[in-house]
Amino acid sequence: MAAKFSPSLMCMDLTQFREQITAMNSRADFYHVDIMDGNYVRNITLSPFFIENLRKITEVPIDVHLMVNHPEDIIPLCLDAGADIISFHPETANNKIFRLLNQIKDAGRRCGVVLNPATPAQAIREYAHLLDKVTVMSVDPGYVGQKFIPESLNKISQLIEMREKNGWHYLTEIDGSCNEKTFNVIAQSGVDVFIVGTSGLFSLAGNVSEAWDKMVANYRRETAA
């Protein structure tokens, strides 16, 4: 399977919202939208209102990452706004994981969970058959520009082994510091989707089309793809 790329839109230039989305619509496999509540993590970023406006100008799947303490409050808003995939951190919903995953699937959307660097792959075993995507954080959640945590790659390998052994269907995804310095070692893990943000994409050029071409060139050079 060829690598898939999901730009993290909290890193884009919001003053060029339409221009940058239009340029990436023919390139991106997903759009990654981080929603942070200022409680689960101390930062506050995008919102269901952002999803609603993004939906008006793209058919690219909108992939929402909830970094919130009460995902049950935000999931209905994301569904109404047009999100295609909704993922949350399992520790925020331990007593309601099945209910939330089934709520998303019953709405005809895809669901996932996000594993922090210290959360083991085995944590998903009881509900992995419901998942369409498992995201592994390779930095602590909440802020851009953090140092890559190489131990996270062991989790990717474990998730892929679990998927193949059990016939599960989820995509694996990595979130945090995906750029030319880490592309090669990440690719070796077999991960399906790379989330690219400031260092991997948006800082490479002022024009996002040029930045995307540089990102792809970096990936191919570093991975010999």
Is residue 177 part of an annotated ligand binding site? yes
- Please work out, in degrees rounded to the nearest 5, the angle formed at the alpha carbon of residue 85 by the alpha carbons of 44 and 117: 60
Instruction: Give yes or no for a contact between 23 and 212, defined as CB atoms under 8 angstroms apart.
Output: yes
CA 215 – CA 219 distance, rounded (Å): 6
Amino acid in position 124: I
Is residue 189 part of an annotated ligand binding site? no
* Residue among 63, 132, 175, 192 flagged as catalytic: 175
* Residue among 34, 37, 84, 192 flagged as catalytic: 34
CA distances from 27 to 70, 132, 194 (A): 33, 22, 13
Is residue 175 part of an annotated ligand binding site? yes
> What is the C-alpha R_g of the chain?
16
Is residue 199 part of an annotated ligand binding site? yes
Is residue 129 part of an annotated ligand binding site? no
CA 82 – CA 62 distance, rounded (Å): 8
Is residue 190 part of an annotated ligand binding site? no
CA 67 – CA 45 distance, rounded (Å): 10
Phi, psi values for residue 171, rounded to 5°: -80, 150
Burial class (CB in 10 A: 0-12, 13-18, 19+), 204: buried
CA 97 – CA 133 distance, rounded (Å): 15
Read off the DSSP letter of residue 202.
I
175 classed as catalytic: yes
Is residue 152 part of an annotated ligand binding site? no
192 classed as catalytic: no
Is residue 209 part of an annotated ligand binding site? no
Is residue 198 part of an annotated ligand binding site? yes
> Which residue positions form the known binding site?
32, 34, 65, 175-177, 197-199
> Which residue positions form the known binding site for substrate?
65, 175-177, 197-199
Question: Residues with catalytic annotation?
Answer: 34, 175
> Which residue positions form the known binding site for a divalent metal cation?
32, 34, 65, 175
